[in-house]
């Protein structure tokens, strides 16, 4: 997140707050371009991040309808999100398998819940703060 700190606004999202965050962004920043940045791991692609990005694309597209102007990457992430099922897909990816091997299956299952919390964390002055 600190690498994106130069952006006008940086929010922290997960499956757990996807709907609330998408609604907040659309209400507070209408007509602004939204860039979804996946955290990755060691500068590598992570399936669970791409799946999560697809969830956010889906939430934005639900609200924007035909006016949603999606990049090819956004369309690809949304396709992965629509086709893969949580928590199974998240338990089967590399990080999920690693978590399961460490006895953390329930944590993955918890994190795989969609739209469970209405919290909106934003990066402000180098710290995460709840803004909604």
By the 8 A CB rule, do 36 and 56 touch?
yes
**40 pLDDT higher than 90:** no
Question: Model-level pTM?
Answer: 0.92
Name the phi and psi angles at 129, rounded to 5: -135, 145
- pLDDT tens column, 46-101: 999 999 999 999 999 999 998 899 999 999 999 999 999 999 999 999 999 999 99
Closest CA to 7 of 41, 32, 40: 32
Domains plus CATH for the chain? 10-117 (3.90.1560.10)
pLDDT per residue as tens digits for the range 5-25: 888 899 999 999 999 999 999
Closest CA to 20 of 128, 111, 120, 131: 120
């Amino acid at each position: 997140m600190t690498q994106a700190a130069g952006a006008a606004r940086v929010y922290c999202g997960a499956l757990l707050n996807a709907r609330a965050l998408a609604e907040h962004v659309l209400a507070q920043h209408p007509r602004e371009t939204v860039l979804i940045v996946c955290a990755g791991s060691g500068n590598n692609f992570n399936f669970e991040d791409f799946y999560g990005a697809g969830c956010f694309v889906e939430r934005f597209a639900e609200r924007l309808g035909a006016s949603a102007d999606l990049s090819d990457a956004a369309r690809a992430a949304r396709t992965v999100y629509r086709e893969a099922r949580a928590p199974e897909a998240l338990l089967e990816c590399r990080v999920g398998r690693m978590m399961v091997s460490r006895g953390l299956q329930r944590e993955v299952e918890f994190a795989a819940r969609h739209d469970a919390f209405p919290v909106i964390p934003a990066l402000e002055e180098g710290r995460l703060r709840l803004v909604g």
